[in-house]
A and B are shown apart, each in its own frame.
Chain A
Amino acid sequence: MIERTEVDGKPATVAYIDDKFQPVEKDQAVYIKVLFDDGEQLMLSAKDDHARG
């Protein structure tokens, strides 16, 4: 799932993916890929805690 949103107040395109980098719905995501409009990018954890899968 891809959506346009803001991360830390900056416009960005975010994608929700699982641990195999397959696109998934938000609630199944392991990682969130963030690509800012200025070219900066980062990977966020979609999990709320430190649990390792």
Chain B
Amino acid sequence: MRLVGTGQNRERIEKWVAELKEQIDTLPGDQVGSVKDEQLNGMKTALELWLSADPKLKGAGERSLHEVHDGNGKLLSAVFTQYNRETNVSSIESIGGLEHASLVKALQHMVTHEEKDNHAERIEMTVFDDDTARLSALNEVGFQPDPGATGHGVKVMIRGSSTTQAEKARAERMSLEHQNKVLGASQAAARLLGYDPKLVRISMDDHTFDLAGTQRHAAGLAHLTTGVITIFPNYVYSTDGAVSVTAHEVAHQKYQTVLNYLQKEYEALGEAERQAQQQQQPPLTNFGGELKPEYREQFPLITRFEKHKGDALDRRIKTDGITDYSKDYWKDYAKDKGIVALKVASHETIAEIARRQTETGKIEGSPAWRSYYKDVMKSYDEIQEKLKAAKAA
């Protein structure tokens, strides 16, 4: 005779715990770690979990014990489960039985309770690969291995949906919440760096790039022509990450914009010099290549950035970057002192000063770098003002 109980008699449960402890403690040495040892411990733990569970959760049926005993009151098997209301999933926390049939009976009783009373969409238990006693009992009551969560010596055995409606809804909520957080953090970073936050957008599209034969997903993109910065929340994993990625994008946008306008001024200066020479007029620059004072207003960027050339550039190279990240680029530049490496190292240092600015609110770095950074930012703002004025005219 096999009778089923749900732990209503505390005195009996405590007696079984004591008996099981005695049995475990007196097991012969060659049976320690045996299947019997595992099953006795499984039953004992199930009963102990039940005894220590929150009475309110027990009353609500969210913590449950299902035990099977014989006509003489001898415990044959026990299962303890807990139900998660948020995910609508029940999990078996401990199970043990002296025989297969009793184990199956306790499991069947548990399944009825979780599915009929709690309406759990899934019941699950993690079991060692070699735990054949539990695996065969779980199989018999309709549990299957979850292929997405199995490996490393264990099997996650499930009955019901591998993803519940509640889990799907939660994932959607979290995804939307994550998107909003990423957008908020990115726009805040842009605003802090004096960049129009409306130009920072998020996209759930998947933008892929081939990096040395491996497909990689974009986390952040800057569109130089439009100024739009796109952040991809699926590949930005935290708000800190969003701030850092945006700070880099903003700084690169600003710096490259200024470099492009500076280049345009140099091209215009070259053309003006050529015309002056043709017309046998005096050159616009002096012997050292510096603009003559009367042309400074005509070429404001060249004028501003003249002080950042020569010795100032040497000082920036010597004081390298402000973080380990940007210092690495200067180490790379030191190898061959190439123009591309110099440009890249400068870009990354500017980006890191901007990133640190979003963290500390300060412009960090050596005096040479701080001065250069401030002039880049000031020049960008002036370029934008001029563009706005030209558009309004």
Interface residues of B in 215-248 (CB under 8 A from A): 216-222, 224, 232, 234-238, 240-241, 244-245, 248
Interface residues of B in 316-340 (CB under 8 A from A): 323-325, 328-329, 332, 340
Chain B residues whose C-beta falls within 8 Å of the C-beta of A20 in the assembled complex: 240
Interface of A is mostly: strand
Do B237 and A8 touch (CB < 8 A)? no
A28 within 8 A of B: no
Interface-side segment among B3-11, B60-68, B106-114, B205-213: B205-213
With beta carbons under 8 angstroms apart, the residue of A15, A21, A42, A47 that contacts B209 is: A42
Expressed in whole angstroms, the Cα–Cα distance for A32 and B130 within the complex equals 41
B252 within 8 A of A: yes
Interface residue total, chain B, C-beta cutoff 8 A: 43
Interface residues of B in 80-119 (CB under 8 A from A): none
Chain A residues whose C-beta falls within 8 Å of the C-beta of B220 in the assembled complex: 42-43
B155 within 8 A of A: no
- Knowing A19-B240, A43-B220, say if A33 contacts B210 (CB, 8 Å): no
Expressed in whole angstroms, the Cα–Cα distance for A35 and B325 within the complex equals 14
B159 within 8 A of A: no
Interface residues of B in 57-82 (CB under 8 A from A): none
Interface residues of A in 1-53 (CB under 8 A from B): 1-2, 5-9, 13-15, 17, 19-23, 30-35, 37, 39-47, 50, 52-53
- Knowing A2-B329, A45-B219, say if A30 contacts B224 (CB, 8 Å): no
B256 within 8 A of A: yes
Chain B residues whose C-beta falls within 8 Å of the C-beta of A43 in the assembled complex: 218-221, 245, 248-249
With beta carbons under 8 angstroms apart, the residue of A23, A37, A45 that contacts B328 is: A23
Expressed in whole angstroms, the Cα–Cα distance for A14 and B222 within the complex equals 16
With beta carbons under 8 angstroms apart, the residue of B212, B216, B219, B332 that contacts A6 is: B212
B127 within 8 A of A: no
- Knowing A7-B209, A52-B178, say if A41 contacts B252 (CB, 8 Å): yes
Smallest CB–CB gap between A11 and chain B, Å?
8
Please give 4 more A-B residue pairs, beta carbons under 8 A apart, in addition to A34-B209, A47-B237. A7-B211, A39-B260, A43-B248, A50-B235
Smallest CB–CB gap between B89 and chain A, Å?
20
**Which of A17, A39, A43 neighbours the largest number of chain B CB atoms within 10 Å of its CB?**
A43
With beta carbons under 8 angstroms apart, the residue of B237, B329, B341 that contacts A30 is: B237
**26 A-B pairs (CB sep. < 8 Å):** A1-B328, A6-B212, A7-B209, A7-B211, A19-B240, A21-B244, A23-B325, A32-B216, A34-B209, A35-B348, A39-B224, A39-B259, A39-B260, A39-B343, A40-B224, A41-B256, A41-B347, A43-B219, A43-B249, A44-B219, A45-B218, A45-B232, A47-B235, A47-B237, A50-B234, A53-B237
Do A15 and B252 touch (CB < 8 A)? no
Do A23 and B324 touch (CB < 8 A)? yes
B134 within 8 A of A: no
- Chain B residue nearest to A37 (CB atoms) is B340
Smallest CB–CB gap between A5 and chain B, Å?
5
Smallest CB–CB gap between A26 and chain B, Å?
10
Chain A residues whose C-beta falls within 8 Å of the C-beta of B210 in the assembled complex: 7-9
Do A30 and B241 touch (CB < 8 A)? yes
Smallest CB–CB gap between B299 and chain A, Å?
21
B44 within 8 A of A: no
Chain A residues whose C-beta falls within 8 Å of the C-beta of B344 in the assembled complex: 13, 35
Do B238 and A53 touch (CB < 8 A)? yes
B355 within 8 A of A: yes
